[in-house]
Amino acid sequence: MAQEKERILVVDDERLVRWTLLKKFTEWGYEVREAGSAGEALDLYRREVPDVLVLDVRLPDLTGIELLRQVKSQCDTCAVIMITANPQVDDVKAALKMGAFDFIAKPFDFDELRVTVQNALETRRLRAELDTLRDEVRRKSGYHDVVASSRKMTELIEFVRKVANSEASTILIQGESGTGKDLIAKFIHYNSSRQGRPFVTINCSAIPETLMEAELFGHERGAFTDAKAMKRGLCEMADGGSLFLDEIGEMSLVLQAKLLRVLEDQTFRRIGGVKDMSVNIRVIAASNRDLEQAVREGRFREDLFYRLTIIPVFIPPLRQRRDDILPLVSFFIEHYNHKFKKALRGLSSEAGEIILKYDWPGNVRELKNAIERAMILEDDTLIRPLYLPFQVTSQSAIPSSMDAFPDARVSESRWTELPSGRLLPVLEIPARGTSLEEVERELVHLALKQTSGNQTHAAHLLDISRDALRYKMKKFGLERIS
């Protein structure tokens, strides 16, 4: 298959100049289009974006500088070479500031023009490769754009985008566990001027206090017994990029004081070192704890708290932004379709209703895990309630439990969590009493009704074997439940 030729669009109001350039570019192996005005050029550009735009500064309807501005606002991938018979310093400065690749004077030195076009195309290719590598780094880091449909989240993303493009050196992200604080941290990094530099993460609750300082600041050789070689710390490794401190509320007070110095001076000292190291890092901290309360209790430094909260970001829990639930489900289904090589189309209407009713105390993480579980088990084209986690389906199944126990009344709390983690209806025994066997019969009936007669799943809900369930079904005359 023949390689597609690279395209050049020549824009000049002089027919002879266009003819000359068209002849030369064709001779050099390029596919060429031409336009005699800015309007004609914009029409061609919108229909077929060229690889290189050779643009005259003087045009009959717009100046070349104005056309350059419009072209760059629509698509920044095209390399623009400006041409003119009377180069002016102001024109050159304006064009280069707006992203022009180079400026060439008429009459042309064709050797210079050829090399300039080749360099412009090579620069364009290198930028495309860099963008591809950046996308690969994002993918491997687990980063993806934030799914936001609710008003709360769209406003949050708009705010966070501004924060990312600012010069803020410290940002604090707060929210319940599972709301996606790590994803917002990555969003800030990958939508900032630091995106090409390292994004370094450390979980402050996962590393023992005795090792935390060495992880953050590194150590010199011989600093302590096992320090047989110099080690760079995460602050040093994040130089030029972002350092994400997850669960910062778990950091010791001693380390908090040392971190404060990094935030204020952008300097630190390796363990056993004698000189200060300078870095340029953005520190993004996150916590699901109430840090203000921790300050009052003396567990978190007040000065560090106020330093971190210059720009606070609060992520609302999923129950407060239910408009995001179904878009998130669609995103996770697409993700797991690719991962598990499946082709599920979405949720059944019953599963969708159940998912929307549930409060998701574990937030987005819990929702993601629920969809992953269902995707693994589901062999139909839509996810059915059968394969959603029990705690999700049980919340919407409360009304049916009242029908299943006509002689017992569900208390106001309705459900209780057993030591095993399972949920069970809270029942009050009627004054006239009832038999244990009747309660057992109704529990088996409820499990079968809730699973549409699926014995394997019903047995799982009751934490008994399938054979034990079949025995009880026969005993209570429930073989025909579906």
pLDDT of residue 416: 52
Among the candidates 328, 354, 383, a domain finishes at 383
pLDDT, residue 336, reads: 92
Handedness of CA 32, 37, 40, 44 (dihedral sign): positive
Inside any domain, residue 27: yes
Task: Report the alpha-carbon angle 68-72-74, nearest 5.
Answer: 120
Residues 201 and 53 in one domain: no
For residue 340, give the CATH number of its domain.
Answer: 1.10.8.60
CATH of the domain at 114: 3.40.50.2300
Q: Are 215 and 207 in contact (CB under 8 A)?
A: yes
Residues 58 and 121 reside in one and the same domain? yes
pLDDT at position 401 is 38
pLDDT at res. 211 = 86
Quote the mean pLDDT of the chain: 84
Residue 390 has pLDDT above 80, yes or no: yes
Shared-domain flag, residues 30 and 116 = yes
Query: Which structural domain, as residue segments, surrounds residue 221?
Result: 151-314
pLDDT, position 478: 83
Tell which of 383, 415, 439 closes a domain: 383
Predicted confidence (pLDDT) at residue 433 exceeds the cutoff of 70: no
Going by pLDDT thresholds of 50, 70 and 90, the confidence category of residue 306 is: very high
Residue 99 in any domain: the answer is yes
| Mean local confidence (pLDDT), 238-258 | 93
Q: Which residue has the higher pLDDT, 179 or 429?
A: 179
Q: What mean pLDDT is predicted for residues 348-369?
A: 92
- Residue 398 in this model has a pLDDT that exceeds 50: no
- Domain total in the chain: 4
Minimum mean pLDDT range among 6-20, 276-290, 444-458 = 444-458
Q: Are residues 37 and 161 in the same domain?
A: no
Identify the domain boundary among 91, 108, 134: 134
CATH number for the domain spanning 273: value is 3.40.50.300
In a domain, 326, yes or no: yes
Count of CA atoms in the C-beta half-sphere (13 A) of 129: 6
Q: Are residues 310 and 168 in the same domain?
A: yes
Asked if residue 139 belongs to a domain, the reply is no
Could you please report the per-residue DSSP string of 139-187? HHHT-------SHHHHHHHHHHHHHHTS--SEEEEE--TTS-HHHHHHH
- Is residue 405's pLDDT more than 50? no
Based on its alpha-carbon atoms, the radius of gyration of the chain, rounded to whole angstroms, reads: 32
Retrieve residue 255's tokens. Answer: 């380390």
pLDDT, position 133: 64
For residue range 184-224, what is the model confidence (pLDDT) as tens digits?
A: 999 999 899 898 888 999 999 888 888 898 899 988 887 77
Which of 236-240, 349-353, 445-449 has the least mean pLDDT?
Answer: 445-449
- What per-residue confidence (pLDDT) applies to 413? 39
pLDDT above 70 for 1: no
Confidence grade of residue 427 (pLDDT, cut at 50, 70, 90) = low
* Predicted confidence (pLDDT) per residue in 102-145, tens digit: 888 888 889 999 999 999 888 888 877 766 666 565 555 555 67
pLDDT at 320 over 60: yes
Using CA atoms, how far apart are residues 152 and 319, in angstroms rounded to an integer?
A: 12
> Is the domain of 113 the same as that of 240?
no
CA 387 to CA 374: how far, in whole Å? Answer: 5
Same domain flag for 205 and 232: yes
Compute the average pLDDT of residues 359-368.
Answer: 93
Same domain as 121, residue 12: yes
Where residue 413 sits, what CATH number does that domain have? 1.10.10
* pLDDT of res. 403: 41
More confident residue, 410 or 152: 152
Q: Residue 18 domain-assigned?
A: yes
> Do residues 178 and 301 both lie within one domain?
yes
Are 279 and 349 in the same domain?
A: no
pLDDT category of residue 400 using cuts at 50, 70 and 90: very low
Average pLDDT over residues 428-442: 69
Please check whether residue 80 lies inside any domain of the structure: yes
> Which amino acid appears at position 89 of this protein?
V
Instruction: Answer yes or no: do 218 and 367 share one domain.
Output: no
How high is the pLDDT of residue 128?
A: 74
**Do 309 and 323 belong to one domain?**
no
**What is the average per-residue pLDDT within 77-82?**
86
Of 84-93, 165-174, 465-474, which has the strongest mean pLDDT?
A: 165-174
- Compute the C-alpha angle 130/134/138, nearest 5°: 170
Note whether residue 468 is domain-resident: yes
> pLDDT at position 404, please?
40
**Between 392 and 400, residue with greater pLDDT:** 392
Contacts by residues 326-335 (CB-CB < 8 Å, ≥ 24 positions apart): 326/352, 326/355, 326/356, 327/147, 327/149, 328/147, 328/364, 328/367, 328/368, 329/355, 329/367, 329/371, 331/147, 332/367, 332/368, 332/371, 332/372, 332/375, 333/371, 333/375, 333/383
**Residue 171 within a domain:** yes
